Amino acid sequence: MTADAPLKQPGRPSLIQVAALSGVSAKTASRALSGEGYVAAKTRQRVHEAADQLGYRPNGVARDLRRGAKASTLVGLISGDLANPFYSRLASGLERKLRVNGLQLITASTEENPEWERQLTDTLLERRVRGLVIASTMAGHDHLAGERIHGIPFVFVDRPPVGLSADAVLLDNRGGARQAARHLVEAGHRRIGVIGDLSRLFTHRDRIGGFAEVVETAGITGWADYLLEDAHDVATAERAVRELLGRTPAPTALFTLNNRITTGAVRALRGHPSPPALIGFDELDLGDFLGVSVITHDPEEMGRWAAQLLLDQLFGDADEPARHVVLPTRLLVRDSSERPPRDLGG
């Protein structure tokens, strides 16, 4: 019971070593360090000194194993691209709400690669995070079916679960696209170029759907000729816009389906002698400065809702049915969409 703990250098010291060095049992050392109470002040101090001296750091893995998954304070967020301000603002809203509830957010990026999403969810699930928020890029989610029943709570954001009933926070993509389309159609535009993201994504398809409703109701046929898809990054979007503008007849207006694509369009339109009208889905950094009309919404609010649904699953009734929250969009008219159609074609 003296200070000579078995020195298996250079591994990290364990609680046992701390206990040995301070001449108490493991449990007492544990109590002293975790502040559980019922430890004499003197003992407590001796244990702390021993811990400091050895450079002891508790092993959270062992603790979690013993205490069960409920001990973890980590919540994971998995998304396609954390560099996108939409997701980073979502993450920010989520994090703040989690933090006041004693939870910590960790985020991971899949770069819209389903295989990486699968690996990341597996890793985080296996390491027993407390909960998971997913902006999924996968086509289906059968592999998560077991989780909700006897596992880790999760919430889908931005994109809904497929083949699975689960909580989700979504945007009114259809409604937003309708607002944009109506705005352009009412200004007299008949040839509207639409530039979209990866065509497999739910958000993309829904936005196209909303747009189609409006233009078809307005009697505009052949709109799909001016639809370009899979422009996932700024450069591709820029090229797509140039291509559209080079056509005869050229579109008199542009609807870009997310913030990156809008950025590409802004670039492509730079210095253009008679640019088409432009409206984009998602707010843009410096959007007011640039004078770009947008369909705006509140990514932080989406994050806060995701946190709320997760907290309800963690601390509320376990048997609640899955809930879906749909957040509204708002049309923000700035200069770029006020350019009238400038010819008689169409």
Of the pair 88, 236, the CB lying nearest its own copies is at: 88
85 binds, among DNA, its own copies, none (CB under 5 to 8 A by kind): its own copies
SS (H, E, C) the chain: CCCCCCCCCCCCCCHHHHHHHHCCCHHHHHHHHHCCCCCCHHHHHHHHHHHHHHCCCCCHHHHHHHHCHHHCCEEEEEECCCCCHHHHHHHHHHHHHHHCCCCEEEEEECCCCHHHHHHHHHHHHHCCCCEEEECCCCCCCHHHHHHHHHCCCEEEECCCCCCCCCEEEEECHHHHHHHHHHHHHHCCCCCEEEECCCCCCHHHHHHHHHHHHHHHHCCCCCHHHHEECCCCCHHHHHHHHHHHHCCCCCCCEEEECCHHHHHHHHHHHCCCCCCCEEEEECCCCCHHHHCCEEEECCHHHHHHHHHHHHHHHHHCCCCCCCCEEEECCEEECCHHHCCCCCCCCC
| Number of chain positions touching its own copies (CB under 8 A) | 58
Smallest distance from DNA to CB 8, Å: 8
311 binds, among DNA, its own copies, none (CB under 5 to 8 A by kind): none
Candidates 21-29, 115-123, 225-233, 239-247 — which segment interacts with its own copies by CB under 8 A? 115-123
Of the pair 83, 344, the CB lying nearest its own copies is at: 83
Of the pair 33, 185, the CB lying nearest its own copies is at: 33
Of the pair 65, 333, the CB lying nearest DNA is at: 65
63 lines the binding site for its own copies (CB under 8 A): yes
91 lines the binding site for its own copies (CB under 8 A): yes
164 lines the binding site for its own copies (CB under 8 A): no
272 lines the binding site for its own copies (CB under 8 A): no
Q: Are 209 and 181 in contact (CB under 8 A)?
A: no
Determine the Cα–Cα distance for residues 315 and 305; give it in Å rounded to an integer: 15
Candidates 30-38, 120-128, 241-249, 325-333 — which segment interacts with its own copies by CB under 8 A? 120-128
Among 42, 149, 221, 246, binds its own copies (CB under 8 A): 149
Of the pair 126, 317, the CB lying nearest its own copies is at: 126
- Amino acid identity for residue 291 in this structure: G
Of the pair 40, 69, the CB lying nearest its own copies is at: 69
Smallest distance from its own copies to CB 249, Å: 27
> Which residue is associated with the tokens 């990156």?
260
Of the pair 27, 99, the CB lying nearest DNA is at: 27
289 lines the binding site for its own copies (CB under 8 A): yes
274 lines the binding site for its own copies (CB under 8 A): no
Smallest distance from DNA to CB 155, Å: 24
Smallest distance from DNA to CB 94, Å: 28
140 lines the binding site for its own copies (CB under 8 A): no
The CA dihedral of 112, 116, 120, 122, to the nearest 10 degrees, is: 120
Draw the binding track, 36-55, toward its own copies (x: CB under 8 A; -: no contact). -------------------x
267 lines the binding site for its own copies (CB under 8 A): yes
123 lines the binding site for its own copies (CB under 8 A): yes
